[in-house]
Structure 1
Amino acid sequence: MTDIREDAAQKHRIPVIEQMVEVFALLERTPEGASIREVVKAVNLSRTTVYRMLNTLSAHDFVHRSPAGSYTLGRRLLTLAAHVAPTVASYDLLATAQPHLNKISELLGEGSKLTVPSGDNILVVASAQGHGQYALSATAGQRLPFHAGAAGKILLAFSSREDIERRLTKLERFTSKTIIEPQLMLEELAQIRKHDWARDMGEQMSGVHAVAAPVRDHHDRVIAAVSVPFVAGVDETRVADIRQAVVTAAQRITNDIRSAAPAVPLTTLAVETPAPKRANKRVAKPKQR
């Protein structure tokens, strides 16, 4: 009887969509990009068919083709993910976060962004543009390193021990401020867990600083980071204002998520599941460094 039901279900599937899903799965596993040869091998179709499929998906921004010819997932998928129905996930992360990002930008005049883990990088999934004279902007779809930048360090600090150890095996230097010594990074991550916020002192891009704070789900797992980048050289009073706005926004997004009916954990955008920070459900009040 089971075999009959499976055969019937198979008859009502569309092969070309099955093949398209295989393409998405391959690109999900290879965030650095896959060549057309790799896609052909994965889906077992002719090169001409694969090229037409990728060309169609690229025209609708579901995949992106680099100048070198490799393919990655496209930004249109972020738009779709932002509208996942509540029956699929217990909350819509992007829709929940966007008003709080907008408020940060209105309050400070700085750009703000929401970032999640995505494979071996972090991924900007939402942003709000600043209106200040020196406001820095971020665009959804940007991929950034874990170890260099405030948002990345937040997400790294609350990852599992295994993920932290794996990502510390090779720390690329981007500027003279980038932390590339594993022991120093472990000490930095411990401080981030202690204070519940992170600061970038020009570690990913010279002259650009940032502050970030964690967003948690129903189970107290860190699933995203709110951050504000700003030009170096501002006084510490301004930095304190930015930090307070970022921490407040992250806490409010967390509260909104927790006020939604508990259901399955977030699976949108292949978000990794970091280790819980603590057993209770309260968001700790940030301490001053």
Structure 2
Amino acid sequence: MTSAASPGSGSQSQTLSRGIQALELLAEAETPLSIAELSVGLGVHRSIAYRILRTLEAHSLVMRDDAGRVSAAPGLAALARGVSRDLQSASLPELTVLANELAMTAFIAVWDQHDCVTLVTVEPRHSRTALVQRPGTRHSFTAGAPGIAIQSAVSEEHWNRLAPGQPYREEAKLARQRGYATSHSEVIEGVGSVAVPVQVPGQLPASLSVVYFGPGKDDAGIGARLIESVRQIEAQLH
């Protein structure tokens, strides 16, 4: 759970920071939160949590149900549409085709400071066993195919300048050679992933990924299929 910023945290706006933390808490929560739960998560008195809530409500970023419990509101979706808008527009048709063709959840992950973050995701229409991959989900560069694929899009020397202190994985070197990355049981036991880097003009690289349960998948075949989709996406971005 996200912790509240300390009062002396540099030159940051504490009020703004708490508002953003409230949105992060609501985005991570499986169910709507009460004011009491929100105040505990923020580490502030209920009266302060309530003022933050009222401000976010005024901007349609949160909403309350009949019981007064708080959840994220559609206004957040409007903000999210502006994030890497071209990449979202170019990738959504390919994600939809891939998800239904492979019966796997397909998603785009983008570089965000020390992690990569799911930008947009599509689940297969007729599969009850597909993994749920929510937009906003964070992936460490130390585990999982999305981060390996993003690493593989830059040289080790360039990576060390972009992300000092974060190791350049051996798996990224292999992915750089074959064009796709794989991981198995690194993030969740029994879950595999295949990912391919996406070059976005003027931005840090992203990755196109699919995730699946269990062993025995044709990762090489999946990787080749993802490479085809990435070529289509990149053609629209250039």
TM range, smaller chain: 0.5 to 0.7
From the superposition, tell whether residues 61 and 128 of structure 1 become closer, same or farther in structure 2 (CA, over 3 Å). farther
CA drift at 1:115: 0.4
Partner of 1:82: 81
CA drift at 1:250: 1.5
- Which 5+ residue runs of structure 1 have no aligned equivalent? 1-31, 64-72, 169-184, 259-289
Which protein, 1 or 2, shows the higher relative CO under an 8 Å CA cutoff with sep ≥ 6? 1
| Distance in structure 1 (CA, Å) of the matches to 2:182 and 2:134 | 20
Partner of 1:249: 229
Partner of 2:134: 139
Of 182, 195, 206, which residue of structure 1 is paired with 2:189? Answer: 206
Partner of 1:193: 176
Partner of 1:129: 123
Q: Write the deviation string for residues 27-71 of structure 1: whole angstroms up to 9, x where unpaired.
A: xxxxx65437468973377x99975663245446758xxxxxxxx
Structure 1 length-normalised TM: 0.56
Contact 1:115-1:226 at 8 Å conserved across structures: yes
Q: Aligned-pair RMSD on alpha carbons?
A: 3.5
Contact 1:111-1:229 at 8 Å conserved across structures: yes
Of 12, 34, 50, which residue of structure 2 is paired with 1:42? Answer: 12
> What are the equivalent positions in structure 2 for 1:22-33 lying under 5 Å apart?
none
From the superposition, tell whether residues 235 and 210 of structure 1 become closer, same or farther in structure 2 (CA, over 3 Å). closer
Contact 1:147-1:156 at 8 Å conserved across structures: no
> What are the equivalent positions in structure 2 for 1:217-236 lying under 5 Å apart?
217-218=200-201, 223-236=205-218
Partner of 2:31: none
Contact 2:153-2:205 at 8 Å conserved across structures: no
Q: Write the deviation string for residues 147-194 of structure 1: whole angstroms up to 9, x where unpaired.
A: 2000011123335222454112xxxxxxxxxxxxxxxx5422211222
What is the total number of aligned residue pairs between the two structures?
Answer: 194
Partner of 1:161: 160
From the superposition, tell whether residues 198 and 234 of structure 1 become closer, same or farther in structure 2 (CA, over 3 Å). same
Partner of 1:174: none
- Which 5+ residue runs of structure 2 have no aligned equivalent? 16-43, 63-71
Contact 1:202-1:209 at 8 Å conserved across structures: yes
From the superposition, tell whether residues 44 and 229 of structure 1 become closer, same or farther in structure 2 (CA, over 3 Å). closer
> SS where residue 167 of structure 1 aligns?
coil
| Distance in structure 1 (CA, Å) of the matches to 2:216 and 2:190 | 11
From the superposition, tell whether residues 110 and 93 of structure 1 become closer, same or farther in structure 2 (CA, over 3 Å). same
CA drift at 1:122: 1.2
Contact 1:36-1:50 at 8 Å conserved across structures: no
Q: Which has the larger radius of gyration?
A: 1
Percent identity between matched residues is 21
Structure 2 length-normalised TM: 0.67
